[in-house]
Amino acid sequence: MTIPLLTAAALTVDLGTRNPVRILDGISFELQAGRTLGVVGESGCGKSMTALALIGLVPEPHRIGGSLRLGDVELNTLDAERRRLLRGKRVAMIFQEPMTALNPVVSVGQQIAEMLEVHEAASTSEARRRAIALLGQVGIAAPGERAPAFPHQLSGGMRQRVMIAMAIACRPQILIADEPTTALDVSVQAQILDLLLELQRREGMAMLFISHNLGVISEVSDEIMVMYAGRIAEQGPAAEVLARPTHPYTRGLITTMPDIRHRQRLLPVIPGAVPDPRHRGQGCSFAARCAEAEDICSEAVPALRGHLHRAACVHA
Ligand SMILES: Nc1ncnc2c1ncn2[C@@H]1O[C@H](COP(=O)(O)OP(=O)(O)OP(=O)(O)O)[C@@H](O)[C@H]1O
Ligand code: SF4
Ligand SMILES: [Mg+2]
């Protein structure tokens, strides 16, 4: 069997020192080369924290438990410097709001070129040439003329394209895309999705794609992981999870799923809200919102059951 590119096993993240709060609880998944794992759930479910744990940017003070392996190398026990180097070469991330990730006072071409100089020891002229080529690759017209522009001189869609160019500059094996289209207009969202899928095919990257929008997730994913309140509610092959969802939360997300290419005005919503990680209770954290809840549901956290397609529900 081939070793997955990335394996998380019973990953936990606790934030704070005095009264640490368990933000992620028992996250396990595998990411295979060239495949896309879609991570979906409402706001506050732990999607971004999962990404930050993978890339080593969980806010301090924190404690990370469980196992996180890049290929066959365990990251959680590696010293910080080696971990940073290993991740830096293999994993890149696109953030939701490009303005916070881009340097406002450096031209976009220069920002990409500097990355190539630092990470790939490219010469100044080589880095500049490659930066312009990358801008072209992500669909920016007349890239040579755009390269001297500062981030604020570009549209939101263009800035996200620049972020993508920076992310793929060093040819990562794994691309993490955290809500890469959420801040954009609907028409631009579809263009950016198409671009990511095309780049993925061309470069053979694996992708961890995060969105609160199951419509988007269903378009891009091979596997789906549904998160709820810092835990996995359901996971499995995308077609399986979408056609035969077994967790009531997944079914709720499917019922309220917007079609990204034709945005509907009034969408139904799942009544209630995601609990704060401090107040998850001792049983199923979805119980307060679940139409199928029974007494047994609030007794203990339901374990993930199933083999390839798994769900954490007493009825699964
Ligand atoms: N720096 C922090 N300090 C304390 N709690 C945090 C911090 N960052 C995130 N959290 C908490 O961790 C939980 C998971 O947050 P996370 O940002 O991963 O959610 P998310 O699924 O990405 O949501 P969204 O869709 O809004 O981006 C939330 O309850 C959030 O309040
Ligand atoms: S365990 Fe109970 S409360 Fe939780 S999702 Fe299943 S039926 Fe609903
Ligand atoms: Mg987030």
Domain ranges within the chain, ordered by starting residue? 33-57+79-105+150-281
Which whole number is the average pLDDT over 277-296?
94
Q: How far is the CA of 276 from the centre of ligand 1 (A)?
A: 10
Higher pLDDT, residue 228 or 170? 228
Q: In the structure, what pLDDT confidence band is assigned to residue 66 with cuts at 50, 70 and 90?
A: very high
- pLDDT at 178 > cutoff 70: yes
Which ligand is closest in space to the CA of residue 23?
A: 1
Cβ proximity of 8 and 67 under 8 Å = yes
| Ligand 2 binding pocket includes 248 (Cβ within 6 Å) | yes
CA distance readout (Å), 94 to 55, 161, 173, 178, 295 = 11, 10, 14, 6, 42
For a mutational test of ligand 1's pocket, the pick from 24, 40, 48, 209, i.e. the residue with the most ligand atoms closer than 8 A to its C-beta, is: 48
Q: How far is the CA of 204 from the centre of ligand 2 (A)?
A: 38
User: Among 80-94, 184-198, 212-226, 256-270, which range has the highest average pLDDT?
Assistant: 212-226
- 110 φ, ψ to 5°? -65, -40
Q: Which residue's alpha carbon is nearest to atom 27 within ligand 1?
A: 43
Task: Tell me if the bond preceding 275 is cis, omega within 30° of 0.
Answer: no
Cβ proximity of 124 and 113 under 8 Å = yes
| Ligand 1 binding pocket includes 15 (Cβ within 6 Å) | yes
pLDDT at position 13, please?
98
- Sole residue written with tokens 């800035």: 159
- Residue 12 has, within 13 A of its CA and on its CB side, a CA count of 12
pLDDT at position 33, please?
93
Tokens (6 digits) for 10: 């019973």
pLDDT at position 206, please?
96
| Ligand 1 binding pocket includes 58 (Cβ within 6 Å) | no
- Sole residue written with tokens 């035969």: 244
- pLDDT at 261 > cutoff 70: no
Tokens (6 digits) for 73: 């190398």
pLDDT at position 1, please?
65
Which whole number is the average pLDDT over 238-251?
97
Which whole number is the average pLDDT over 72-81?
88
Cβ proximity of 167 and 175 under 8 Å = yes
Q: How far is the CA of 23 from the centre of ligand 1 (A)?
A: 8
> What amino acid is encoded at 270 in this protein?
I
pLDDT at position 100, please?
80
pLDDT at position 101, please?
84
Q: In the structure, what pLDDT confidence band is assigned to residue 297 with cuts at 50, 70 and 90?
A: very high
Measured from the CA of 287, which atom of ligand 2 is nearest?
3
- pLDDT at 267 > cutoff 80: no
| Ligand 2 binding pocket includes 52 (Cβ within 6 Å) | no
| Ligand 2 binding pocket includes 292 (Cβ within 6 Å) | yes
- Mean pLDDT is lowest, of 45-59, 180-194, 243-257, 289-303, for 180-194
> Which secondary structure element, helix H or strand E, spans residue 76, and what is its range?
none
Higher pLDDT, residue 190 or 147? 147
| Ligand 2 binding pocket includes 284 (Cβ within 6 Å) | yes
Q: In the structure, what pLDDT confidence band is assigned to residue 187 with cuts at 50, 70 and 90?
A: confident
Cβ proximity of 63 and 21 under 8 Å = no
CA distance readout (Å), 101 to 118, 159, 260 = 17, 10, 25
| Ligand 2 binding pocket includes 109 (Cβ within 6 Å) | no
Which ligand is closest in space to the CA of residue 177?
A: 3
Measured from the CA of 248, which atom of ligand 2 is nearest?
5
% the chain with pLDDT above 70? 96
- pLDDT at 136 > cutoff 90: yes
CATH architecture of the domain formed by 33-57+79-105+150-281: 3-Layer(aba) Sandwich (3.40)
Burial class of residue 60 in the structure, from the number of CB atoms within 10 Å of its CB (0-12 exposed, 13-18 middle, 19+ buried): exposed
Which whole number is the average pLDDT over 127-133?
97
| Ligand 2 binding pocket includes 315 (Cβ within 6 Å) | yes
Whole-number Å distance between alpha carbons of 26 and 121: 39
Query: What mean pLDDT is reported for the chain?
Result: 92
- Mean pLDDT is lowest, of 177-186, 244-253, 284-293, for 177-186
Tokens (6 digits) for 249: 């939360």
Q: What would the pLDDT profile of 77-108 be if each residue is shown by its tens digit?
A: 888 888 887 887 799 999 877 778 899 999 99
| Ligand 1 binding pocket includes 275 (Cβ within 6 Å) | no
pTM for the complete prediction? 0.94
Higher pLDDT, residue 120 or 268? 120
- pLDDT at 265 > cutoff 80: no
